[in-house]
C-alpha cells in the first residue's frame, strides 16, 4: 500500500510529495471550483497548512479534507518529467 511520507507546500497550489516507495515529485492541486471542502484552500496561507496524517497515510488539511494516496501517486507519476541530461 502506497502512503505519503512527506509533504512540502510550494508556490501556486503545488506540493512536493514523498511516497513510501521512494517516489518524490511535485503536483498541482488547484482548489478553485472543486466544491465546499476545497473552498478554504483557495486562501494560499490555508493551503500551506497541509500536513501528513500518519494514521491515514496521506495529506490532510485542518478542515478534514484528505486525498487518496494512490490517486496522488498516480498523478505524480503522470506529471513526472525526468531531468534533462547531456
State the CATH number of the domain containing residue 68. Answer: 3.30.2020.10
Range of the domain at 69: 4-79
How many domains does the structure of the chain reveal?
1
Residue 86 lies in a domain: no
Q: What is the per-residue pLDDT for 86?
A: 54
Output the tens digit of pLDDT for each of the chain's 86 residues: 999 999 999 989 999 999 999 999 999 999 999 999 999 999 999 999 999 999 999 999 999 999 999 999 999 999 876 545 55
Q: Is 16 helix (H, G, I), strand (E, B) or coil?
A: strand
Whether 5 and 20 have beta carbons less than 8 Å apart is answered as yes
Q: Is 14 helix (H, G, I), strand (E, B) or coil?
A: strand
d(CA 20, CA 32): 29
Q: What is the per-residue pLDDT for 84?
A: 52
Phi-psi region of 35 (alpha: psi -120 to 50; beta: other; left: phi over 0): left
Helices marked H in 1-86 — which ranges? 44-47, 69-79
Residue 33 lies in a domain: yes
Amino acid at each position: 500500500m502506497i502512503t505519503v511520507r512527506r509533504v512540502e507546500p510550494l508556490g501556486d497550489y503545488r506540493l512536493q510529495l514523498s511516497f513510501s516507495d521512494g517516489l518524490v515529485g511535485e503536483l498541482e492541486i488547484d482548489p478553485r471550483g472543486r466544491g465546499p471542502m476545497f473552498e478554504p484552500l483557495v486562501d494560499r496561507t490555508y493551503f500551506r497548512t497541509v500536513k501528513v496524517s500518519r494514521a491515514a497515510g496521506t495529506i490532510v488539511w485542518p478542515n478534514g479534507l484528505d486525498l487518496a494516496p494512490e490517486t496522488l501517486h498516480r498523478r505524480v507519476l503522470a506529471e513526472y518529467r525526468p531531468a534533462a541530461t547531456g
